[in-house]
Amino acid sequence: MEIQTFPNEIVFFDLETTVPNKPGQHFHILEFGAIIVCPRKLEELESFTTLIQPKDLSVVSLRSSRSDGITRAKVTDAPSFKDVADKIYGLLNGRIWAGHNIRRFDCVRIKEAFAEIGKAAPEPSGIIDSLGLLSDKFGKRAGNMKMASLAAYFGLGVQKHRSLDDVRMNLEVLKHCATVLFFESTLPNQLEGKWQSSSKIMTRSRSNYQIAQRAMPYSKGSLGKMTQNVKNLLSKAQGNQALQSLIKHSHSLLR
């Protein structure tokens, strides 16, 4: 029977695993989460997440330092990887894989897990690793390239280190980075590189109505000029349907 593939769909996925603390120990998958995304509209078409019980429950901590972390009690009654392997295979195989640091971590762990149960691992039609992509295109203006730092930079909340939450955060981070890079590519002389000399200005937090310090990607005194440049860009966009569509999408992200 021919296996159906979806080469033009993107699947963002993330794994939560144990962390080896002794020589010879291996990573054990504790949770898998994925969303399938339409690359044209960035719409979430499907989602799936499951906790996974490792063969040896003793490798899972009894407690977690995170409020919603994965503990031994949470995975005790979870399915094994073998139980959910067919579902995971169907989500991943033949699609474009996307995630943060997936080339060096998640892709390797998936192949190991399928090899352990004696099944062929899924294959991607392409890979988008946002760690490498953003390191090259966006730079370290957010500090480091960890998902938590990028999310904090854009005010997207705190990374929960749960698979489904993290892949959705990953997509939102990419949307925000793409919007910034779009503006910079349109007005390179005015916007590009301003983040390198970023300064802190006072902004009002909508969550608690307190004044907070936030690093902004422009130098002091340039906010008015930047605002005018963006207004000029929007004015030039009149009549350009493709540009108008992208700006409309960008505006929805920045509200």
Give dist(CA 214, CA 149) in Å, integer. Answer: 13
* Residue 87 Cα distances to 47, 49, 75, 81, 240, angstroms: 12, 10, 18, 10, 43
What 3-state class would DSSP assign to 177? Answer: helix
Give dist(CA 56, CA 247) in Å, integer. Answer: 51
Q: Is 28 a catalytic residue?
A: no
Give dist(CA 213, CA 194) in Å, integer. Answer: 18
**Which of 46, 11, 14 lies closest to 29, judged by CA?**
14
**Which of 255, 69, 94 lies closest to 179, judged by CA?**
255
Angle at alpha carbon of residue 31, lines to 29 and 37, rounded to 5°: 120
Give dist(CA 167, CA 152) in Å, integer. Answer: 15
- How many other β-carbons are positioned within 10 Å of the β-carbon of residue 138? 22
Instruction: Retrieve residue 157's tokens.
Output: 């909340």
Q: What is the DSSP letter of 22?
A: S
Among residues 161, 176, 249, 251, the one annotated as catalytic is 161
Give dist(CA 162, CA 69) in Å, integer. Answer: 7
**Which of 242, 230, 115, 253 lies closest to 184, judged by CA?**
230
Which residues have a catalytic role annotated?
161
